[in-house]
Amino acid sequence: MAPVGGAPDAAGPRGLVALYRRLSGLVAAPSADVQAVVAVVTAELGVLAAVVGPSAEVLAAAAPGLGVAEASALLRGDAHATAWPRALDTAAAAGRALRVPGPGTRVQVVAPVLLGREVPAFLVAEEDTATRDRPDALAGDDVLLLVAEHAATVVGVLAGRDRVLATAAGQVRGDLVSGLLLDRARDADQAAQWAEHVGYDHGVVHRVVVVSPDDDDAYGAGPASLLGEAEEHLLAAAPTALTVVRDTETVAVVGEPADPVAVGAACARRLARGRVPDPDAHWPVTVAVGGPVHAPQEIAASYEQARRTLVAARRLGRAGRVLRFDDLGVHRLLLQIPDPDAARAFAREVLGRLAADRSERTVELLRTLARYFREDGSPQRVARALNVHPNTVGYRLRRAEELSGLHLDTYRDRLVAQVALEILGEMEE
């Protein structure tokens, strides 16, 4: 098994050039594919021809008098009985076609398909030299090898063209999804058209899911980055989702019946594997889920809600978790305060020594007060929740009033106290 060169017989060049031109012409045909390439080789030389992947999977096949399925089956049968599958690695390393001796008078040629530095496939051609019947213009022992090499080049050009088209189509799709997220459509009709183009299902409710790394060094849009991985994991969890990678986040528009919270959590857990000691306790990303989307023009609102939820998660110390906009409660309003420090200063002012003193005893009072509000002012339910006597609850509430200067029997003080506790995150379960 060695590289072979040489020129065809005298009558060969004209026929070989004509065949080369026919194969090269496929590049200009919009509908041409690798099956068309092997079909030309088979029609001109009367040989079995195929394109196979690196693991010898048959991608296209043709043989005289046989259909594609029959030719593929014939090639797979030959793969077990001949040496050409073992020649794939050798041909890839050599970067040129190899002639592989077969049983009896049969000969196989393996030609690598080169795409830059990649070898995504191989062109395989096989004939029996004893029964070979070609036109004089294509006579010669080296014709099969030369044609296989040129056919492999054409397959590489077609693969490159398809890759470029796929990349361009992906870019257009990403631009349209970004346009919907950023409300760039001029009206509802254009938004509906963009949504239709990217495969939006108008019959189901959607929500926007934002996955954002908590480490600035993880930002990036390359396929090996955390953001690129996040897109893959989101699509694995919700194959019909509309996804796009933006500067510091990966965004998905997830439709029913998929649960957007479960989709985001599944993505985060997969990203955590190998990156954090305990993937179930903490994630390297924060996941935020916007409100429901009933029409394409509402996608932008859900996206804005998800982004606000992301900010809230980090303000509340809930980074590395999943949070829904629907669960924000009063924090929807608190997020409108441009200066978080001003909000925290207000909360400390309202709660006085109750917030300033971080001793264990005072923290216990603060948490009892928060539980009192969560239990709608019922000391009995607070006692059951904290596993203490109701009298203990009453004592703690009086001490909380003394330290804060609040009067819990007045509506105004109860309101500002609850808001202050929300700002400090004390109302979290």
Confidence of residue 260 (pLDDT cuts 50, 70, 90): very high
- How many domains does the structure of the chain reveal? 3
Confidence of residue 166 (pLDDT cuts 50, 70, 90): low
Question: Residue 3 domain-assigned?
Answer: no
Residue with more model confidence, 223 or 83: 83
Percent of the chain with pLDDT over 70: 87
Range in 116-125, 220-229, 282-291, 344-353 the model is least confident about: 220-229
pLDDT (tens digit, 9 = 90+) per residue, 129-139?
888 878 777 87
Range in 77-81, 93-97, 343-347 the model is least confident about: 77-81
Q: Which of 334, 366, 394 finishes a domain?
A: 334
DSSP three-state, residue 151: helix
Sheet hosting strand 48-52, strand order edge to edge: 58-62, 48-52, 118-128, 106-115, 98-101
Average pLDDT, the chain: 83
One domain for residues 253 and 357: no
Partnered with residue 61 across adjacent β-strands are 50
What mean pLDDT is predicted for residues 149-171? 80
CATH code at position 59: 3.30.450.40
Question: Residue 74 domain-assigned?
Answer: yes
The yes-or-no verdict on residue 174 having pLDDT over 70 is: yes
Position 366: which residue type? L
Q: Name the residue range of residue 264's domain.
A: 182-334
Please give the Cα distance from 372 to 376 (Å, whole number): 6
Burial class of residue 77, CB neighbours in 10 A (0-12, 13-18, 19+): exposed
Q: Which of 100, 128, 162 finishes a domain?
A: 162
Secondary structure letter of residue 267 according to DSSP: H
pLDDT (tens digit, 9 = 90+) per residue, 189-235?
889 889 988 889 988 999 999 999 987 666 554 444 788 899 999 99
Position 158: which residue type? L
Confidence of residue 141 (pLDDT cuts 50, 70, 90): confident
Quick one: how far is CA 366 from the chain centroid?
Answer: 44
One domain for residues 191 and 318: yes
What mean pLDDT is predicted for residues 1-18? 56
Decide if 104 contacts 87 (C-beta within 8 A). Answer: no
Question: Residue 7 domain-assigned?
Answer: no
The yes-or-no verdict on residue 12 having pLDDT over 60 is: no
Q: What is the CA radius of gyration of the chain?
A: 34
One domain for residues 325 and 344: no
The per-residue pLDDT for 64 is 93
